[in-house]
């Protein structure tokens, strides 16, 4: 009995394409929903370089730590998280700049770390979305 090689190749090609498509789809991940609320100063002086804030339970089992790395051009941090204006679940620091014209750049630099809740173990997200 002779097997039609064209049909066999077509079936094998379809199986390979289906398998690869399935693997690509399974590689996708769902980004976690993060909610920043109730920040607590854990070290340093509030609003100053090296101040570190903890945002507990930004998602199940995860705390966020935000550290002020740098302050440039006379910027001041008046609130580490404004949960009244804008999108309350987002992290929204209120940064004020010098009011005089020609003051140049004025900003803060921050570092965000995610830790397993109640520990200092780094949390690794397979994917994360952010808007800036």
Residue 102 has pLDDT above 90, yes or no: no
How high is the pLDDT of residue 32?
A: 87
Mean pLDDT of 15-38: 67
- pLDDT above 70 for 19: no
C-alpha to C-alpha distance for 113 and 94, rounded to whole angstroms: 20
Angular region, 120: left φ>0, alpha ψ -120 to 50, beta rest: alpha
pLDDT at residue 21 in the model: 47
Is 50 exceeded by the pLDDT of residue 26? no
Q: Average pLDDT over the chain, rounded to whole? A: 82
């Amino acid at each position: 009995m002779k097997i039609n090689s064209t049909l066999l190749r077509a079936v094998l090609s379809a199986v390979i394409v289906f398998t690869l498509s399935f693997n690509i789809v399974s590689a996708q991940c769902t980004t976690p929903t993060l909610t920043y609320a109730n920040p607590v100063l854990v070290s340093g002086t509030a609003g100053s370089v090296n101040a570190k804030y903890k945002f507990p339970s930004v998602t199940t089992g995860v705390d966020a730590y935000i550290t002020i790395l740098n302050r440039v051009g006379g910027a001041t941090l008046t609130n580490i998280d404004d949960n009244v204006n804008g999108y309350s679940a987002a992290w929204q620091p209120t940064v004020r700049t010098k009011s005089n014209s020609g003051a140049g750049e004025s900003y803060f630099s921050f570092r965000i770390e995610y830790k397993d809740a109640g520990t200092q173990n780094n949390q690794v997200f397979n994917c994360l979305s952010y808007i800036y």
